Amino acid sequence: MECYQNGQFIEAIELALSITRQFPKFPFGWKALGLLLGQTGKFSEALNANKIAIELSPQDFEVHNNFGITLKELGKYEEAKKSFLKAIFLKPDFFQAHNNLGNTFINLGRYKDSQISFKRAIDLNPNFAEAHNNLGNVFRNLRKLNKAKESYEKAITLNGNYAEAHNNLGNTLKDLDQTEDAQTSFKKAISLKPNYPEAYNNLGNTFKELGEL
């Protein structure tokens, strides 16, 4: 949908709604509607659209993944986990679903399972920067700081404009008492994403530690 590709979400949603009205048994319309509603933060409405899409096309692994994302945003982590597992069952090499499952395991406090999921996503797509960043988050939660540092650095190597990875690397460097290097990472995160309150706060803390305030 050209409207979606151009970031015109309101127009794209209207088009998807029009398709569902004209062709209510056509799964693509509901799939597109669920995706668009989710990306605009209308998760309850997205949930209903995704449910209909699944009823009409139960073998569509992407719809199950989209449904899982919506459930996760609504805090329904066990249900989200089942949806991601269904997507993976239908398409075992669907690396995005493995990554989403890993994030859901983090929400459930199951860090070892999340580690397995992120590593599987990376095995399937070694250039998937987000999975390397997420694996770093797991290592940091487990206080495996050097491994976390390696994962964040790998994510940044793959995507130098990944502001969140620079911020996460900064936090890990700070944990490793490498405060000046952490400061550099936070500054980089802010340069990439000027409206990033967390990075500003983290940078401010490094100034305090270094006696620069």
The CATH number assigned to the domain holding 191 equals 1.25.40.10
What's 127's DSSP letter?
A: T
Within a domain: 196 = yes
3-state secondary structure of 177: coil
Q: What is the pLDDT of residue 210?
A: 80
Q: Is 55 helix (H, G, I), strand (E, B) or coil?
A: helix
Q: Which two tokens stand for residue 196?
A: 């990033």
Query: Directed axis angle between helix 129-141 and helix 95-107, to 10°?
Result: 20
- Tell me the average confidence (pLDDT) per consecutive run of 10 residues in the chain, 213 residues long: 57 83 88 91 94 97 97 98 99 98 97 98 99 98 97 99 98 97 97 97 91 70
Do 57 and 29 form a contact (C-beta atoms < 8 A)?
no
The tokens for 165 are 């990875």
The CA distance from 27 to 36, in Å, is 14
Please check whether residue 192 lies inside any domain of the structure: yes
**At residue 136, what are phi and psi to the nearest 5 degrees?**
-60, -40
Find the length of the chain: 213
Residue 92 Cα distances to 10, 28, 70, angstroms:
34, 22, 21
Residue 10 pLDDT: 80
Does residue 10 fall inside a structural domain? no
Whole-angstrom distance, CA of residue 23 vs CA of residue 29: 8
Domain that holds residue 153: 126-213
**What does the pLDDT read at residue 1?**
47
Identify whether 186 is part of a domain.
yes
Asked if residue 72 is part of any domain, the answer here is no
Give me the pLDDT at residue 3, please: 46
Q: Are 64 and 84 in contact (CB under 8 A)?
A: yes
**Count of structural domains, the chain:** 1
The reply to whether 168 falls in a domain is yes
In a domain, 156, yes or no: yes
Read out DSSP for 161-213? T-HHHHHHHHHHHHHTT-HHHHHHHHHHHHHH-SS-HHHHHHHHHHHHHTT--
Domain annotation covers residue 18: no
| pLDDT for residue 179 | 95
